[in-house]
Amino acid sequence: MTSGTRREWLRTMAALGAGSLADALIPRALARAAQQPAQDPTAAFRAQIGAVPIQARQLGENLTLLSGPGGNVVVLHGADGLVVVDTFVAPAWPKLQESLANLGAPVKFVINTHWHFDHTDNNAPLHAAGATVVAHANTKGRMSEPHHLAVLELDFPPSPASALPQRVFTDRYTLEANGERLELSHVPPAHTDTDVTAWFEHANVLHAGDVYFNGRYPYIDGNTGGRVDGMIAASDRLLSRADSGTKIVPGHGPLATRADLVKYRDMLSIAADRVQKLKASGKSLEESIAAKPFTDLDGDWGAGRYKGDDFVKIIYLTL
């Protein structure tokens, strides 16, 4: 072997050795992760929401608000068993189960304010534990279908039969338990075409579901009947029921008063009017977003998941 050939051979062996050393230094878990497919976006979104802790707050002597992984859940408790309004996302089940167990009674009824996953995900385990799930008839229909949620760009398969409501209604449904009278009322298409509100008469508490996002721009699901004008009308319906002492539980956001709901209704009206004028003038969705019509609203309403540009799109698609 000539000296030049030997030098080339030594350089080659050194390079191969360095490569082997580098391979050994790369964490095997990292290498395995690189070979695995990316997590399903819907599963990732569920996990993100499910990681939020549950916070409890008393609304009355036997009424508790649980807030966190998927909005706001209200629980009526007492000797007659628990009545639970909405159910959080599936990954939050262990935390929800613990929170309900701390209230000291089995769950008798579950109420879905609409069909979306963050309000219905834990129907199945609650039903398996003995609860009857109550919802609007459209909720059962929507849960039985596959869906694509625009703006969020998420896809959902039909819910399993075990998660579907066992008892449905079309207009109103009343339930009496633990010294309280609970009235469920269907809302004409607003956030979806499945919305209901829950009125706890004696406690003067109103669960608005997702027709009300307090302190943030709302999501409106045009793919399942949601309309921005319906959201405004729903706000007016809620205002007609509430008085200055009513505790209003939004689908998302902090506990609210009637005055808070008035501000929200006014924001919806202003926002819808502005986007309607842009759309009527022939502006495309992209042009309407570029016009930045909500600059003066973003400070009060843009701190949630949906920013000003998102809300222009939401309204444009649901006018």
For 208-224, the pLDDT digits (tens) are 999 999 999 999 999 99
Return the percentage of the chain with pLDDT > 90, whole number. Answer: 87
As a whole number of angstroms, the distance between CA 129 and CA 258 comes to 36
Question: Across the chain, what does the average pLDDT equal?
Answer: 90
pLDDT of 195 = 98
**What's the pLDDT score for residue 16?**
36
Mean pLDDT of 75-93: 98
Q: If phi over 0 gives left and psi between -120 and 50 gives alpha, with beta otherwise, what is residue 157?
A: beta
Q: What is the mean pLDDT of residues 75-86?
A: 98
Q: What is the dihedral of CA 173, 175, 180, 183, to 10 degrees?
A: -10
Task: Quickly tell me which residue has 């540009």 as its tokens.
Answer: 309
Q: Quote the pLDDT of residue 39.
A: 72
| Amino acid 99: pLDDT | 97
Round the CA-based radius of gyration of the chain to a whole number and report it: 25
pLDDT number for residue 233: 98
Which residues are 177's β-sheet partners? 180
Cα separation, 299 vs 319, in Å, equals 24
Going by pLDDT thresholds of 50, 70 and 90, the confidence category of residue 31 is: very low
Residue 150: pLDDT band by 50, 70, 90 thresholds?
Answer: confident
Helix (H, G, I), strand (E, B), or coil: what is residue 80? coil
- 107: pLDDT strictly greater than 90: yes
Average pLDDT of span 148-175: 96
Poorest-confidence range of 37-41, 81-85, 140-144?
37-41
Alpha-carbon 221 to chain mean position: 11
Quick one: average pLDDT of 44-59? 96
C-alpha 233/C-alpha 55 separation (Å) is 31
Model confidence pLDDT, tens digit, residues 214-257: 999 999 999 999 999 999 999 999 999 999 999 999 999 999 99
Q: Please say if the pLDDT value at position 2 is more than 70.
A: no
The pLDDT of residue 38 is 60
Q: Give the range among 4-8, 123-127, 188-192, 254-258 with minimum mean pLDDT.
A: 4-8
Read off the pLDDT of each residue in 277-299 and give the average, rounded to a whole number.
Answer: 98
- Angle, helix 258-280 to helix 308-318, in steps of 10 degrees: 70
